[in-house]
Structure 1
């Protein structure tokens, strides 16, 4: 089963968790795509600025605080992912409800911990 993952809020800065997540996802051979504020390359993953209608997304892992998420609600829902992971600092009960209404799972968890403990 593919776990193609969209990292939303991706950063080119090596110290950012979204950047580290991209490297770890690729280390586990998980197909990864990314959207961030600046275009660039992290490992072999291109960070896009525009909202691309990616196909086959299993997981969206969020690295955007709750105040920045509303502009992405419709986009994320349109991708029809199996789940959305709310990493620490991204918790958003309003969005949880929208996802539930569209039969999309959500988890409040840390992508890095999930990968490290083989729970991804």
Structure 2
């Protein structure tokens, strides 16, 4: 092994992105040493606009959130679309709504579960 290869190998641990802290539960997060923060969870829907609080706060509001609706359990045709206002975010939470279109068709509120994923920075 050359001296250059030895130097490269010895620097891998110091140059690699490390996990700073984590909580790997159903609603959890991973903080990386470069400042990246990924968070996820499951939440029940609600009537009206409701706040979803993150397991840990972001550094600022320049994060993105992705929501995925649960399975249709009613037997009727139903389009479920949980959503949030990307212009109305806070470092510790975002406001969401859970609406859908039923077979009537009518736009209705639903309490169905949804999953969420958020990515941004913690430092």
| TM-score normalised over the length of structure 1 | 0.26
Q: Which has the larger radius of gyration?
A: 2
Relative to its length, the structure with more strand (as a share) is 2
Relative to its length, the structure with more helix (as a share) is 1
